[in-house]
């Protein structure tokens, strides 16, 4: 069985927060974009707010690099 998800992001918003919905339009995951940080950070949460993972851009690297941490902060 294949799960399909749809990302809903506001065109004009303070911050980079958006929702990921299932095919039925139910909000499944929230992506909380942190705006006032030097590195771009996205925190993936369940709809009820439990943190699942965090993606953070690394600075000062030759190639674009990101770090993905689980809810416990492990890379």
| Position 23 confidence tier, pLDDT thresholds 50, 70, 90 | confident
What are the tens digits of pLDDT across the range 31-72?
Answer: 887 765 566 778 888 888 888 888 877 666 677 777 778 888
- Integer angstrom CA distances of residue 30 from 8, 20, 70: 10, 6, 15
- H, E, C per residue of 14-67: CCCCEEEEECCCCEEEEEEEECCCCCCEEEEEECCCCEEEEEEEECCCCCCEEE
Rounded to two decimals, the pTM is 0.54
Output phi, psi for 17, to 5 deg: -85, 140
Q: Which of 73, 27, 72, 23 lies closest to 49 in space, CA to CA? A: 27
Rg, the chain, Cα only: 14
């Amino acid at each position: 069985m294949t799960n399909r998800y749809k990302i809903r992001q506001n065109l004009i918003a303070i911050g980079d927060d958006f929702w990921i919905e299932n095919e039925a339009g139910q909000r499944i995951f929230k992506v909380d974009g942190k705006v006032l940080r030097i590195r771009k950070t996205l925190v993936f949460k369940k709809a009820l707010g439990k943190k699942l993972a965090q993606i953070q851009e690394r600075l000062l690297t030759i190639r674009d690099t990101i770090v993905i941490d689980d809810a416990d902060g492990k890379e």
